[in-house]
Amino acid sequence: MFLIPCPYCGERDQSEFANAGEAHIARPVWRDDMTDREWADFVFMRTNTKGLFAERWVHAAGCRKIFNALRNTATDELLAVYEVGAEPPEVETVLPATPSGEALGSGNDAVKIIASGGSEKP
Amino acid sequence: MGRYSVFSLVTQGFLGHGGWKPVWRQPDPKPAYDCVIIGGGGHGLATAYYLAKEHGMRNIAVLEKGWLGGGNSGRNTSIIRSNYLYDESAAIYNHALNLWETLGRELNFNIMMSHRGVINLAHDEGEMRQLKRRIEANRLNGVDSEWLDAKQVQEFCPILNVSADIRYPVLGGTLQRRGGVNRHDAVCWGYARKADEMGVDIIQQCEVTGIRVEAGAVTGIETTRGSIRTPKVASVAAGHTSVIAKMVDLRLPIESHPLQALVSEPIKPIHPCVVMSNAVHVYCSQSDKGELVIGAGIDAHVSYTQRGSLDIIEHQMASLVELFPIFSRLRMMRQWGGIVDVSPDASPIISKTPVKGFYVNGGWGTGGWKATPGSGHVFAHTIAHDEPHPIAAPFAIDRFHTGRLVAEHGAAAVAH
């Protein structure tokens, strides 16, 4: 659970917002020779990124506006919000060093491997 | 390895229980295997077990980044049932249920399988029609399923509030008597013990960091404990399925979400079955230790953090107290989250891929535990023969291109 800074209303509890999935998925321009595979890629396939992820939120219990956000899905750190249609801004975040090598405190500590010295092994 | 029996128990009792041996080895990875399975949870270990037992592939390894059963296998609410609507789903879930019934004997390990019955409640007329349709579909597929009206529901589960004055009154429900719960850790340990006995290397604390592909075919795998040559890699990574698939540049129709569960303080036996409600949205059973095991919804956003949002469990507790007022003063003891890999049609993906030698078993979403033996069994066949098992064939990735979806949102316990 986290706070989301709505660009129109300011910082609010996440429970006020509805998530609208991955951002920047463009509907393909219709062509006569479009294949089922191309449509399926648009409709179903997702990057499901672990790490820096662009997504859409709707401030459902507030201004009801849609906006984009950048979030680190390995830690739920919310990094930036920006308008629909805009390019994602540059942000800094610590990405997982290996597929599950995120920093301690990220919420995944239960299955992390801690070397005897106390430092993180992957 | 010793066989577990009442005699071994008594013998060890006289010896002060000092003679029990570890039931699997802690091997270092070999330079090459015939097949490498990514993920040492229930599905991965079952896959390894059936590959070794039924297909004679014993030079294989299971790689686990943490410890056995430490992911979703140790985090689910262990509900077993097979009352799904479509033929394809009934086939795989009932295949699993048939295997569950004899699994404890087969593995010589007490998995504490309890066929105590699963009730799915209906709270409005639409849901009632939908559930009755599902009963008929189940019966045509040989899945045991019956309708209980509100009074019969209360007879089966006396602590349930079926009065007419709650916001969503219980109008009735379906009952699958063969459904129930089991002990998830024991299933993982049982599979691991037998797989190890047949020569499977189970390598824990070994994380996969890359998959080598040459000329469109898998040739090896990179791990935190060195490189391994192998012609076959099978991903059974649950919430991290997309992360593994990305290593071979494969995009999947899967999104990962946190799903939470919690347990109460232990109380005396009071809850005789499993009760699930999709509309009020909670599911609850009582473990043999006496704790209530309660689950419900996923967080709507993509996340790989194994926790979840408080508003989700607030809603879940409100639902629990409405259906079971008797639990209103019970304290909740522990809460946790797991990352579930949700597919668009709420059905799994058990499939070959465009990359030769790379197989995927994932997308089980919020309801994979019940399928563990069936999933492992048909996936092992798919890997060994490089051809899908007839039961697995409808769950190929291709269905998202052809449109032959197996839309099971109604039968999945978690609304998404």
Helix boundaries (H) for chain A = 36-43
d(CA B156, CA B174): 11
Percent of chain B surpassing pLDDT 90: 93
Out of A50, A98, A121, name the one closest to residue B209 (CB): A98
Please identify which residue in the block is written with the tokens 């197996």: B406
Out of B207, B252, B336, name the one closest to residue A99 (CB): B207
Q: Is the pLDDT of residue B414 over 80?
A: no
Q: What is the ipTM of this complex?
A: 0.90
Q: Is the pLDDT of residue A122 over 60?
A: no
CA B225 → CA B45, B46, B93, B152, distances in Å? 20, 23, 36, 57
At B237-282, the pLDDT tens digits run 999 999 999 999 999 999 999 999 999 999 999 999 999 999 899 9
At B173-208, the pLDDT tens digits run 999 999 999 999 999 999 999 999 999 999 998 999
d(CA B303, CA A49): 9
pTM of the predicted model as reported, rounded to 2 decimal places: 0.94
Out of B311, B337, B344, name the one closest to residue A15 (CB): B311
At B79-129, the pLDDT tens digits run 999 999 999 999 999 999 999 999 999 999 999 999 999 999 999 999 999
At A57-100, the pLDDT tens digits run 999 999 999 999 999 998 899 999 999 999 999 998 888 777 77
Contact call for B243 and A50, based on CB within 8 A: yes
What pLDDT, on the 0 to 100 scale, is given for residue B413? 63
What pLDDT, on the 0 to 100 scale, is given for residue B176? 97
Tell me the average pLDDT across B369-393: 98
- A112 touches B: beta carbon within 8 Å: yes
Contact call for B65 and A73, based on CB within 8 A: no
d(CA B70, CA B73): 7
- B402 touches A: beta carbon within 8 Å: yes
d(CA A110, CA B66): 9
Min Cα distance B269 → chain A (Å) is: 30
SS3 state at B127: helix
**Which chain B residues are closer than 8 Å to A49 by Cβ?**
242, 302
d(CA A25, CA A37): 16
d(CA B194, CA B77): 24
Please identify which residue in the block is written with the tokens 């296998």: B73
Q: Is the pLDDT of residue A116 over 50?
A: no
Q: Is the pLDDT of residue B309 over 50?
A: yes
